Amino acid sequence: MTTPSREQPRFTGALANENRLKLGTFSTNLEYGGAITTLPGTLRANWEQVKNVAQMADRMGLEAIVPVARWRGYGGKTNFSGPSFDTFCWAAGLAMATENAFVFSTVHVPTIHPIVAAKQLTTVDHISGGRSVLNVVGGWFRPELEMFGPNYFLEHDRRYDLAEEFTKVLINLWTCTEEFDFEGEFFKIKRGFSEPKPFQRPRPPIMNAGGSDRGRRFAAEFADMLYIHVKDDSDILSAKAQVDAITTLAREFNRTVQVWTQCYCVCRDTEKEARDYWNYYVHELGDYEAADNLMHYIGLESAVLGKDWERARDRFISGWGGVELVGTPEQIVERLSLIAETGCDGTLLMFPIWEEGLAQFRDKVMPLLEQAGLRKPYVPPSKS
């Protein structure tokens, strides 16, 4: 059995820039785009709008565009995340529509064979000129996995056993120049091979968001970008312990990693205006039923939630349980500075109204981030 290459990819392009805090967008392949609310004007599963949001982020110099793989919604008034675009096809389309940002694909490992995933991600990597990343997810939302069949939903630690084999096969397909055999519990590969090889050499980066002990161990051994959930966003610096623990664990495998998290953002000229708007789209228009369904499955099936259910629910309605960025441009920069102080390399952003939110962030927050030394002015890549 061929042992997969242990050589890590070298970050290039936007992911290798000098910005102390890299930025990206999260869940723009989904209806509502991260906010579980009936607020008018939220993101639709409409390709032109989705493409426009990605191009706005790209022109701002954001480094990452990250989707959520979803196969059914969470019910409620919104059926949050129900309408969604497949992440590989979505990434291929956005690869042609952008120039700078890395476009991620997200895969639920029970739902696709690694030979297919390797070929699809390689195709995106060539279309984008080497701007692809694969986000590997074990799969925890039981109702959607049960649609595939009775054996697709696995017990927690077994998901990572599957993910390990999946990733080993995937890396072999990307890096082996000769045919290989693989004999595992989940996959048995005879004369495995894939061409062309990815544009990025030796391979594209892999991201993972494991929050449990088993998940963190998988991420430290196989992922190049790790995604953490900041449990207490009233004390952002408490996340430093998570960052230190995961980077230390990665070093045990002789690996270095980037660590990212996510935030939801409401920027206004005064804190009261921002807080009032947040209260409006969360408390007055929030889809509590869909949020409760989402949290039920996350809380039941994973180890990343804290005990404060109502506060956590507000955060999920606001934007996938992310860190709060609600206030003036100055207050938002202060919060982002704290995220950088934890040692995080980057954070993904979400807005209740994406076009409006990105424009406000571009015009009012980005200049202050540059003044604070967290980012450098963006210079678009040369087309020569």
Which domains are present in the chain? 13-371 (3.20.20.30)
Kindly write down the DSSP assignment for every residue of 149-211, as one continuous string: -TTS---HHHHHHHHHHHHHHHHHHHH-SS-EEEE-SS-EEEEE--SSPPSSSS---EEE---
- The secondary structure element, H or E, covering residue 268 is none
Kindly write down the DSSP assignment for every residue of 96-141, as one continuous string: HH-SSSEEEEEEEGGGS-HHHHHHHHHHHHHHHTS-EEEEEE----
Burial of 299 from C-beta contacts in 10 A (0-12 / 13-18 / 19+): middle
Lowest model confidence (mean pLDDT) among 141-145, 241-245, 309-313: 309-313
- pLDDT at residue 306, as a whole number: 53
Strands 188-192 and 180-183: antiparallel
Residues near 255 by beta carbon (within 8 Å), at least 6 away in sequence = 8, 220, 221, 224
Q: At what angle do helices 156-175 and 213-222 cross, to 10 degrees?
A: 10
Whether pLDDT at 314 is above 50: yes
The rounded distance, in Å, linking the Cα atoms of 96 and 89 is: 11
Task: Give the model confidence (pLDDT) of 98-129 as tens digits.
Answer: 999 999 999 999 999 999 999 999 999 999 99
- pLDDT at residue 1, as a whole number: 63
Confidence tier at 383 by pLDDT (50, 70, 90): low
Whether pLDDT at 382 is above 90: no
The rounded distance, in Å, linking the Cα atoms of 172 and 112 is: 16
- pLDDT at residue 252, as a whole number: 96
User: 136 vs 233, which has greater pLDDT?
Assistant: 136
What is the largest distance, in Å, between two alpha-carbon atoms of the chain? 63
Nearest to 324 by CA among 279, 286, 369, 371: 279
The rounded distance, in Å, linking the Cα atoms of 277 and 266 is: 8
Task: Give the model confidence (pLDDT) of 185-205 as tens digits.
Answer: 999 999 999 999 999 999 999
The amino acid sitting at 108 is H
Please state the pTM of the whole predicted model.
0.95
Confidence tier at 7 by pLDDT (50, 70, 90): confident
Confidence tier at 5 by pLDDT (50, 70, 90): low
In sequence order, the β-bridge partners of residue 265 are: 325
Give the number of other Cβ atoms within 10 Å of residue 141's Cβ: 21
Task: Give the model confidence (pLDDT) of 253-302 as tens digits.
Answer: 999 999 999 999 999 999 999 999 999 999 999 999 999 999 888 774 44
Q: Compute the mean pLDDT over every residue in the chain, rounded to the nearest whole number.
A: 94
Return the residue matching tokens 């207050």: 331
- pLDDT at residue 309, as a whole number: 77
- pLDDT at residue 96, as a whole number: 98
Q: What is the CA radius of gyration of the chain?
A: 20
